[in-house]
Amino acid sequence: MNDRAAKTSRRRSALLAAVVGLVPAVPIVAGILLSSQSKAARGPVVAGYSAVLTKSAPPQLTNRPPSSGGTAVALLLHGTTMRATAGGPRLATLTTHTEFGSPEAMWVVRQVPGWLGVVSPLAGNGRVGWIPRASATLVPILWELKVSLSARRLTVLYDGEVVRRYTVAIGRPAAPTPTGHFAVTDRLNTGDPTGPYGCCILALSAHSPHAIQGWGGGNRIAIHSTPDPSSIGLPVSHGCMRLTLAEGRWLLGHIPLGTPTLISG
């Protein structure tokens, strides 16, 4: 083989290796988009809030039970149509990022051949939206949030083990916090810990029946911090759940997008 032929052969071999190497990397990259971007990364600012895309840190646990494998979260790979049933009527058009700039990550609650049933604000409270299986990659997460309105308590679980319990303010009688199965859609930094939403917001897929004043998410419900700790534990909010600034920072540093959030009366 002459020098020219040898160089051509080496270039072809290198190209083939690069292409083969990319194949297993696709789901890994998708997982990185969900939970492992650099700390400095920010999504676009919407109504004064910016999406926080930092890596979600696992808690330090002792005597943790064996993992159940976690909950499946669908990370959207490209724009698609959400439907009311698998292959049924159109509900909405999805893009790869939310209105706040977060990667579109949705809790998967059902699966049928070719389709994923997901929890999304576009589907509405108590409804499941359906997206093509090929439009998303599935990422397992081990976190779960449970809110008891009667106890006014938020419980944070990791792999089935309780790691935090926080007292929260809830919606007042005229604006009750909705109950049901929801998911975290955005992790937001307000940039102003003295403002009405404190430093930190976990936006949820839940909708309130009314718009919430001063909140860029319209009628979307959130778990957020507050600079007024005297309101915590009381039914005084517009439907959101409030906790302290320190607790909000902890949630923002740990809870990934798509985390199931169960709110019970």
Q: For residues 115 and 205, give the distance between their C-alpha atoms in angstroms, rounded to a whole number.
A: 20
The token duo for 246 is 């320190």
Which residues are CB-neighbours of 219 under 8 A, at least 6 positions away? 207, 208, 209, 210, 211, 212
Active-site residue, 181 included: no
DSSP letter for each residue of 168-230: -BEE-TTSPPP-EEEEEEEEEE-S-TTSTT-SEEEEEEEE-SS--TT-TTTTEEEEEE-S-GG
Report which DSSP code applies to 134.
G
Q: CA-to-CA distance for 223 and 201, rounded, in angstroms?
A: 6
Closest CA to 224 of 260, 184, 178, 176: 184
Contact 34, 104 (CB under 8 A): no
Among 207, 224, 238, 254, which one carries the catalytic annotation? 224
Fill in the amino acid letter for 145. Answer: L
Q: Are 181 and 262 in contact (CB under 8 A)?
A: yes
From the list 207, 238, 240, 254, the catalytic residue is: 240
Whether 131 and 119 have beta carbons less than 8 Å apart is answered as no
Distance CA 242, CA 168 (A): 5
To the query of whether residue 199 is one of the catalytic residues in this protein, the response is no
Active site (catalytic) residues: 224, 240
